[in-house]
């Protein structure tokens, strides 16, 4: 007799900005099939990656048991051991390192590669802070420039309306964003499509004719990488000189526009930021700059759709600040169909926390960094992700807050995801102890002394929410028992407690998994206030907030400014920031400015490495997740994209194996010649696993083999400020 098929609500747990509804068809304890949301609108349909999740859960490459290293670090030679031996070893090393060097010598890299509000890397921080603390890292590889700029300008990251506001715009500029691939909120592309079908023009500014430019937008406007700020400033020049700005809005809601005006007109530095000035820098034709500026200022409302790509440059926060000023100059903040061009988190349902409670980190001695703009202070306590390798190699002598003796990596693959993978290889030889918890043998896992197999979100109960756009919440139900000998991260830390002298009850608070989830809901800043029905959420696996019209960001600040100030020091939108002025850093000016990047087409290095190298999200990966899932390789082979004209002089033909290189490394990869990239620019999909051959040349197509560790003054990974040369292999 055929046993019953149960449909269990699951989701992915990746860091794409979305969180989609999937149901696993479970029969005899095995997931036979999946299906996405076919229920009530708005349906939260998942993408190809979500549909391939079964292949991930049942991948033959899953780590099946704890292991200890028997070869060199990075070599990938391991021997299976018992959980007891693995956890005893980690506990012994934790105690030894804490007692000999102090807890700051434990460097914890816990990220969002395997997300959940209970499980995942945050439970590790709870554990380590109970243990005495650790040194943590800061700065998202994705968006740190935007985070910084949004906090400066608006005092918050929640700056955008719900996505269903997009079709109300009269004109949309998608800039440095490719939601058709990167997702950036479930249904985002669907709403952009609806906008276009209403007849709204969608211009897409990008060095690459992205999927969003090619398939969603109505026009592609190519721009040289790193120069986007100049384009934004010239748009401001047009708006200003043609007197198209919304004076009433600027007067009522912002501070410091006069100082910005003086910079734009050239009164401050003698250089008017004209379209001709910007055209020289950006390669965007003067007339196009004028046209889009006029159109943006006169279409009421008009919406920016801002991504993170252009912000991942040497002065990325300047671009984010500049586009926000454009939104203010045109009064598009807090309007239906408009957008503030800030960080872009929605007004409700987006991830603001909470997760499993994390006690204060004793190593940080009570200093609060939340929302702070003082990068120097931040760097004195935490390590910027981009400098993880440099910190391990140089320690306190190099100005870092720790001499890292132990590195613990959870739900993260820094060798692939952090700049300069070769330096990562060198750095991970140094610590006395390296522990990695993962689902697969990632490039970073190969460096572990002890490697722990952890579960996927299908093997546990958890809560999840999109980090940028709701308004909805997901409750993930355990579809199958933990595969092989895997444990959830939470279980791992729980079982470590008695081994290091933390009472288990202190860690678990005697809560079961489902009790924790209810507790997390109860202590959330928003879920309860937003009226989320937890019972319904738990029962059906998702809770879509009933809304009849788009929800607006800054609605109260705009409609009732007397009683609702912006959360900035002045209470207004800060075009001029006194906080930044006080930092007295010419590279972090109080008004947004164009500052030329040190590794760009005009720098001396360009003589040796004439091509600008940028990376983009790939449609078959979520960051480094899914790289090892064969079914997804069918949809996009890893290739470097190059313009036909750049290939000619190099005698490169489509499909040739090429050597992409600079002083930091070499990538061997097939080339795809196309008209879709700007001449002088080459593009590689991010997240491909670093796979060096004997000579250290990466054959996996890992973009970070080539990228610089440079951090922008506001904390952005400057990985799109990168020069390379390409030769036929």
Partner 1 sequence: MQMAFYFDQTRCTGCYTCYIACKEWHDIPAHSVQWLRIQETESGKYPDVFMSCTVSPCYHCVNPSCAEVCPTGCIAKRSQDGIVVVDREECLGKEACGQCLGACPYGAIQFRNKPDAKMEKCDFCLERLEEGRQPACVSSCPVRALDSGDIGELKVKYGKYGVVKTGPGLTYDKKNRPAFVIGVKYANSSYKRV
Contact positions vs partner 1 (CB under 8 A): 32-36, 38, 45-48, 51-52, 54-55, 180-181, 187, 189-190, 193, 196-199, 209, 211-212, 214-216, 218, 220-222, 619-620, 629-636, 643, 674-679
Compute how many other C-beta atoms are within 10 angstroms of the C-beta atom of residue 484: 10
Closest CA to 470 of 593, 344, 646, 283: 344
Q: How far is the CB of 46 from partner 1 (least distance, A)?
A: 7
Cβ distance to partner 1 smaller for residue 71 or 630? 630
Cβ distance to partner 1 smaller for residue 209 or 240? 209
Per DSSP bridges, beta strands 657-662 and 723-728 are antiparallel
Q: Are 360 and 130 in contact (CB under 8 A)?
A: no
Backbone angles phi, psi at 491, to 5 degrees: -60, -40
Closest CA to 61 of 504, 556, 484, 488: 484
What is the CA 635 to chain-centroid distance, rounded? 23
Cβ distance to partner 1 smaller for residue 164 or 557? 164
Tell me which H or E stretch contains 407.
Answer: strand 406-410
Q: Could you give the 3-state DSSP secondary structure of residue 33?
A: strand
Closest CA to 53 of 29, 28, 26, 34: 34
Tell me which H or E stretch contains 87.
Answer: helix 83-101
Q: Could you give the 3-state DSSP secondary structure of residue 727?
A: strand
Residue recorded with tokens 């912000």: 311
Residue recorded with tokens 């809901």: 521
Cβ distance to partner 1 smaller for residue 38 or 560? 38
Cβ distance to partner 1 smaller for residue 18 or 600? 18
Residue 161 to residue 550: CA distance in whole angstroms:
7
Here the tokens at position 300 are 């009421």
Q: How far is the CB of 7 from partner 1 (least distance, A)?
A: 13
- From residue 373, give the alpha-carbon distance in Å to each of 149, 155, 361, 711, 715: 9, 10, 20, 15, 10
Closest CA to 726 of 599, 603, 609: 609
Angle (CA) 552 469 711, round 5°: 105
> 541 — alpha (psi -120 to 50), left (phi > 0) or beta?
left
Cβ distance to partner 1 smaller for residue 22 or 447? 22
Closest CA to 543 of 6, 7, 11: 11
Q: Are 422 and 665 in contact (CB under 8 A)?
A: yes
Residue 690 to residue 310: CA distance in whole angstroms:
24
Q: How far is the CB of 55 from partner 1 (least distance, A)?
A: 7
Residue 320 to residue 689: CA distance in whole angstroms:
30
Residue 363 to residue 381: CA distance in whole angstroms:
8
Tell me which H or E stretch contains 109.
Answer: strand 106-110
Q: How far is the CB of 11 from partner 1 (least distance, A)?
A: 15
Q: How far is the CB of 180 from partner 1 (least distance, A)?
A: 4
Cβ distance to partner 1 smaller for residue 47 or 724? 47
Report DSSP state, residue 692.
B
Residue 337 to residue 214: CA distance in whole angstroms:
23
Compute how many other C-beta atoms are within 10 angstroms of the C-beta atom of residue 540: 14
Tell me which H or E stretch contains 260.
Answer: helix 257-265
In DSSP terms, which residues pair with 286 in a beta bridge?
none
Cβ distance to partner 1 smaller for residue 634 or 694? 634
Closest CA to 438 of 66, 17, 24: 66
Q: How far is the CB of 320 from partner 1 (least distance, A)?
A: 25
Tell me which H or E stretch contains 673.
Answer: strand 665-674
Q: How far is the CB of 38 from partner 1 (least distance, A)?
A: 5
Residue 629 to residue 622: CA distance in whole angstroms:
12
């Amino acid at each position: 007799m055929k046993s019953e098929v149960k449909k269990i609500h699951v989701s992915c747990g990746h860091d794409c900005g979305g969180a989609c509804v999937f149901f696993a068809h479970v029969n005899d304890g095995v997931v036979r099939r999946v299906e996405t949301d076919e229920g009530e609108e708005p349906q939260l349909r998942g993408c190809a990656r979500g549909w391939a999740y079964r292949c991930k859960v049942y991948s033959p490459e899953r780590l099946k048991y704890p292991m200890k290293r028997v070869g060199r670090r990075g070599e990938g030679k391991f021997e299976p051991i018992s959980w007891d031996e693995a956890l005893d070893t980690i506990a012994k090393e934790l105690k030894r390192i804490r007692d000999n060097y102090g807890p700051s010598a434990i460097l914890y890299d816990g990220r969002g590669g395997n997300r959940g509000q209970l499980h995942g890397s945050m439970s590790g921080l709870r554990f380590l802070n109970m243990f005495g603390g650790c040194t943590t890292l800061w700065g998202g590889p994705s968006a740190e420039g935007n985070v910084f700029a949004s906090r400066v300008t608006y005092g918050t990251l929640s700056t955008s309306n719900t996505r269903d506001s997009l079709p109300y715009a009269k004109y949309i500029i998608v800039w440095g964003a490719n939601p058709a691939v990167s997702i950036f909120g479930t249904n985002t592309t669907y709403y952009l499509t609806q906008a276009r079908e209403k007849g709204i023009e969608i211009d897409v500014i990008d060095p690459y004719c992205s999927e969003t430019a090619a398939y969603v937008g109505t026009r592609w406007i190519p721009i040289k990488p790193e120069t986007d700020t100049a384009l934004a400033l010239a748009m401001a020049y047009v708006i200003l000189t043609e007197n198209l700005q919304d004076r009433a809005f600027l007067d009522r809601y912002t501070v410091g526009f006069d100082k910005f005006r003086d910079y734009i007109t050239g009164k401050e530095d003698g250089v008017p930021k004209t379209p001709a000035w910007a055209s020289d820098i950006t390669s965007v034709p003067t007339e196009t700059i004028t046209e889009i500026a006029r159109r943006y200022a006169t279409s009421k409302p008009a919406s920016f759709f801002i991504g993170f790509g252009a912000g991942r440059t040497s002065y990325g926060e300047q671009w984010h600040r500049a586009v926000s000023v454009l939104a203010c100059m045109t009064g598009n903040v807090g309007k239906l169909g408009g957008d503030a061009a800030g960080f872009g988190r929605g007004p409700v349902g987006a991830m603001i926390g909470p997760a499993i409670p994390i006690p204060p980190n004793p190593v940080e001695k009570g200093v609060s960094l939340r929302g702070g703009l003082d990068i120097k202070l931040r760097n004195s306590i935490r390590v910027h992700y981009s400098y993880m390798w440099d910190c391990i190699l140089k320690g306190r002598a190099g100005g870092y807050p720790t001499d890292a003796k132990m590195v613990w990596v959870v739900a993260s693959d820094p060798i692939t995801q952090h700049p300069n993978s070769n330096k990562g290889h060198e750095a991970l030889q140094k610590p006395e102890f390296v522990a990695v918890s993962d689902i697969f043998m990632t490039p970073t896992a190969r460096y572990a002394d002890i490697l722990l197999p952890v579960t996927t979100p299908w093997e546990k109960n958890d809560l999840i929410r999109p980090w940028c756009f709701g308004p909805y919440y997901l409750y993930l139900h355990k579809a199958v028992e933990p595969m092989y000998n895997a444990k959830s991260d939470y279980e791992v830390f729980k079982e470590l407690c008695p081994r290091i002298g933390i009472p288990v009850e202190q860690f678990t608070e005697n809560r079961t998994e489902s009790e924790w989830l209810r507790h997390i809901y109860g202590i959330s800043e928003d879920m309860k206030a937003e009226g989320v029905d937890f019972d319904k959420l738990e029962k059906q696996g998702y809770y879509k907030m009933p809304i009849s019209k788009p929800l607006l960001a800054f609605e109260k600040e705009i409609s009732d400014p007397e009683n609702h100030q912006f959360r900035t020091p002045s209470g207004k939108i800060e075009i001029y920031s006194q906080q930044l002025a006080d930092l007295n850093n010419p590279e972090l000016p109080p008004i947004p400015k164009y500052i030329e990047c040190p590794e760009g087409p005009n720098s001396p290095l360009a003589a040796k490495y004439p091509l600008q190298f940028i990376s983009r999200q790939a449609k078959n990966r979520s960051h480094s997740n899914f790289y090892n899932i064969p079914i997804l390789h069918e949809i996009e082979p890893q290739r470097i994209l190059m313009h036909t004209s750049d290939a000619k002089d190099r005698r490169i033909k489509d499909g040739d194996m090429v050597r992409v290189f600079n002083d930091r490394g070499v990538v061997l990869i097939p080339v795809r010649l196309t008209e879709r990239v700007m001449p002088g620019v080459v593009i590689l999909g991010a997240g491909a696993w670093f796979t060096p051959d004997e000579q250290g040349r990466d054959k996996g197509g890992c973009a970070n083999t080539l990228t610089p560790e440079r951090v922008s003054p506001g904390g952005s990974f400057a990985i799109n400020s990168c020069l390379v040369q390409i030769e036929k292999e």
